[in-house]
Structure 1
């Protein structure tokens, strides 16, 4: 079968030109003074390769950049290159086994040194190092080699034909890091390079001057930024911590901050805040799914450290599909949407809810069925043998530790789900953790979502762009967080399925879009409907807010929300 190249959405083939705003707002770099951003989940590190937390990826995107990004429509646009490689322009080989990127001329790092293809190749080496753990390893799935052609040209070769070659170096999850700064940080040494991880040298619009993990970041305009007159702001404060309520008030009611991210608030609360008149909420749907992750391994503290939540020890009861399915059946997703998100949420059974090409028609989970869940557990032999209200089998009780980050909506969800699970004989202990720690990726912390020292955990994330291949590849066998990878890895559940891996390989070499859609839907169904390894709850619209005086904001659900911060400006100046 003849393969076709995958070009999701329109591809912009020329570099982004300086923006001429409708009010003629142009001028010198730094002309608009200070801008203040608040993320209630505080960044812990500024290296996306050592953290899967959105807060870390997005704060880092102000400093370090990929070769290309996805715009607000999901189209591929060049950033550190003049054009996106395609078959038509010769950048992607006819056999689809390689993609060649050519850096724009004259790019320099914030320290004044030139950006070269050696930096690009080193970035791949850094993430693909066999002795390290890379939080974005799925971006490099199927890469055979990364070859330096000349100072500005690098060629990525894949093991097989790759109709979607835009995994490495595309989007905020896969930025270029400077070889000179990170040269001694390969493999197991990566987490030890505190200075580089906290203060990366970059090509982005801002430079870090002070980074306080889990608290605040101070930045100033990058004097070596490639676009004249940008950024408009001379300095930037990135405040982390607190909660979504305080973040929303800081923009919408008090005007203390200019931009607030991820306002995960009940709809009536957000509407009341908006009456403050200092700012406006902005929202859009993308691929952000609030879900439950089922731990297929044993997180018991009775196991030796280094063996907890590893594939050496299967979970004592979540290894049973009937238990996982019953837990899903007991949940009323429509009520969760009503309580937590209103019009900014949609009940879903899918890990990949969009684009439509890749969204399964699975709706089976949308109807709550407490009676059916009880019957399923009865049939599987899980009964309350001692009358304490908790089902058990062979001496193992259905007693769950259910964790998530600290957030009012998530705690409401926990309380409702605990009650529903109690109705099917499942005992549930709730734990909520500071988001900066939970999503931080610190290999020494017992409380990260990667380490997963609980039975069930709840969170949401999404993927760059509109193609889910790299996202679904996260659940490949062997990609689980483990001691040998410094607890980095995207296969949070420790899921391993031969059919799933074979389908990933088929997706990687399939170019025809309808066929890609069929395969992606099948992958989605395996990990959700057929195994209940992931239990989707809500397709969440992204809701943020910006002040009335902050111009140039374009909400982007396909890349970092801060993707165009270089174009922000102060209205009225």
Structure 2
């Protein structure tokens, strides 16, 4: 792959022709293309990266992570620590102090009460908050004055930086969302599509699954930013069309998430109109196995714990499916230098990466066949499909519509066929698959299939909240608006105990040991089959300056710093 990947943690922006932004809204419009269109602008009601990143242009956290993975202050003056008195020595509280004169995009002041309200919003019963793990362990939030937020934990919390840090945990305006608590949250269309924020842009027009139009926030805290008067995110189409619209025709300025084979991107970049940028963080393409029965005959109880899966509850079947996959081939055909074989769902930072699962790097079809034989799964009727006790190994494998994912599906289907497993392939438009509509039967949260494939990542470098995604209480159900994060419906008390222990444990190495243990439990129970540690790949035209790709937070984290480069 020859397109100059920026795979180091630190990514240096190439500044050409313009040293600094001179005046707010002086550079016209910037056009972004997301082949997976945003479906909502409230990150608390979605697990989709496309929605979280779109919303990050409007809604902001107290602190976030820069391109090196370093936590930096955002809406606060400094990061609280034990040394500066912001974190209690017993780790039972953290105090954040808002910047002076912070203003919402409607001109009203941002106060500590907005921060406290956001906690109440996400933790309200029945609200289906997709990122409630960020608020685990919080007993209370006090607001002694308009600029001070004191978060008190029910136990010592050595890593107190989950809540309100990173793109998936921003601050909501209390006035706007006051009537949106609990089961009313999904019904607040105006607030969810047009949130009032502190970011560089304001939503002017939102058309779910199509386009979002924004304008410069007149109350943004830096009077010289953003340089662009307006911003548009156009959704839909394919990753290939998005890449072409930037790299070959320059009809758009920025193309997000270019999940394309390396030779395709190489050819497009050769046109000389734009640049492909990439960086490795924590993004992992994975296959998830459904431990519950997705049969439509079960009605509202399909894909719930009330009905275990007829054969994926057998670990021998799950392990065999993993053993049959040639991950090195997937990297080669799908990502090239922008991908690495991984056997972990927690591949980075390095201290958290386990070395206990390396066997997955070598395909072993014959070993998988022997495993199924020993578990009693044989082809009793000679139809080419293994069966046992009247249950045949036939599964539905779904993912989003994308050229790389369909290539992966076809390869995996072929390998599973060698085992005697029959696989039906299904792909769903990414706008729907990663959508937030609790009534849609086609979302990856509903998981009305046996197996599904997608990629996931987490904010920053500490995986505490991310690993908590697979606790029993995070299983998507009708009661939580299908917004849980535990897609395989995995419920293991021993895993939950490790999550609880990590919340109360200090010391980087000890925390890393716990995180590795949780990773190993998920991998060795074969409920998630990691495939590729993906670099985040996007592209921008040569005339767009200030872009710094960030694999640890929102990709659009510094859009306030973007500007138009004057070219001859």
Query: If the length of structure 1 is used for normalisation, what is the TM-score?
Result: 0.95
Partner of 2:430: 435
| C-alpha RMSD of matched pairs (Å) | 1.3
Shift of 1:173: 0.4
Partner of 2:305: 311
Instruction: Say if 2:21 and 2:561, in contact at 8 Å, map to a contact too.
Output: no
Partner of 1:339: 333
Partner of 2:498: 503
Partner of 2:12: none
Instruction: Say if 1:404 and 1:432, in contact at 8 Å, map to a contact too.
Output: yes
Structure 1 distance, partners of 2:558, 2:17, is: 17
Q: Which runs of 5+ in 2 are unaligned?
A: 1-8, 10-14
Structure 2 distance, partners of 1:157, 1:403, is: 42
Structure 1 distance, partners of 2:133, 2:241, is: 35
Structure 1 distance, partners of 2:449, 2:385, is: 18
State yes or no: 1:420 paired with 2:415: yes
State yes or no: 1:79 paired with 2:74: yes
Q: Which runs of 5+ in 1 are unaligned?
A: 1-9, 11-19
Partner of 1:572: 566
Q: Secondary structure at the match of 1:302?
A: helix
Partner of 2:24: 29
Structure 1 distance, partners of 2:43, 2:19, is: 35
Q: Given the alignment, which residue of 113, 121, 132 partners 1:137?
A: 132
Q: Secondary structure at the match of 2:297?
A: coil
Partner of 2:35: 40
The C-alpha deviation readout for 1:488-521, integer Å capped at 9, x for no partner, is 1111111111111111111111111111111111
Q: Secondary structure at the match of 1:292?
A: strand
State yes or no: 1:302 paired with 2:276: no
Partner of 1:383: 378
State yes or no: 1:538 paired with 2:532: yes
Structure 1 distance, partners of 2:270, 2:67, is: 27
Partner of 1:519: 514
Structure 2 distance, partners of 1:569, 1:133, is: 38
Q: Secondary structure at the match of 2:156?
A: coil
Q: Given the alignment, which residue of 544, 549, 554 partners 1:555?
A: 549
State yes or no: 1:228 paired with 2:223: yes
Q: Secondary structure at the match of 1:505?
A: helix
Partner of 1:14: none
Q: Secondary structure at the match of 2:413?
A: helix
Q: Given the alignment, which residue of 434, 457, 463 partners 1:468?
A: 463
Query: If the length of structure 2 is used for normalisation, what is the TM-score?
Result: 0.96
Structure 1 distance, partners of 2:409, 2:88, is: 50
Instruction: Say if 1:141 and 1:473, in contact at 8 Å, map to a contact too.
Output: no
Partner of 2:4: none
Shift of 1:131: 2.1
Structure 1 distance, partners of 2:175, 2:21, is: 35
Report the count of equivalent residues: 554
Partner of 2:343: 349
Structure 2 distance, partners of 1:265, 1:482, is: 33
Instruction: Say if 2:16 and 2:565, in contact at 8 Å, map to a contact too.
Output: no
Q: Given the alignment, which residue of 253, 264, 268 partners 1:269?
A: 264
Q: Secondary structure at the match of 1:478?
A: helix
Structure 2 distance, partners of 1:24, 1:410, is: 40
Structure 2 distance, partners of 1:96, 1:261, is: 39
The C-alpha deviation readout for 1:67-89, integer Å capped at 9, x for no partner, is 11100000011111001111111
Shift of 1:21: 9.0
Shift of 1:156: 1.2
Partner of 1:208: 203
Partner of 2:154: 159
Shift of 1:26: 2.8
Partner of 2:316: 322
Structure 2 distance, partners of 1:321, 1:150, is: 54
Instruction: Say if 2:17 and 2:566, in contact at 8 Å, map to a contact too.
Output: no
